[in-house]
Chain A
Amino acid sequence: DAKTTQPNSMESNEEEPVHLPCNHSTISGTDYIHWYRQLPSQGPEYVIHGLTSNVNNRMASLAIAEDRKSSTLILHRATLRDAAVYYCILGDDKIIFGKGTRLHILP
Chain B
Amino acid sequence: GAGVSQTPSNKVTEKGKYVELRCDPISGHTALYWYRQSLGQGPEFLIYFQGTGAADDSGLPNDRFFAVRPEGSVSTLKIQRTERGDSAVYLCASSLTGDRDRDTQYFGPGTRLTVL
Contacts and interface: CB of A to CB of B under 8 A. Distances in A.
B41 to A, nearest CB: 6
B7 to A, nearest CB: 14
Contact of B101 (A92, A96, A98): A92
Contacts, number: 54
A85 B102 CA distance: 21
A42 B93 CA distance: 12
Most central of B4, B56, B105 by chain A CB within 10 Å: B105
B44 A46 contact: no
Given A30-B101, A43-B93, A43-B108, A99 B41 contact: yes
Nearest to B99: A91
Interface of B: 4, 33, 35, 40-45, 56, 91, 93, 100-110
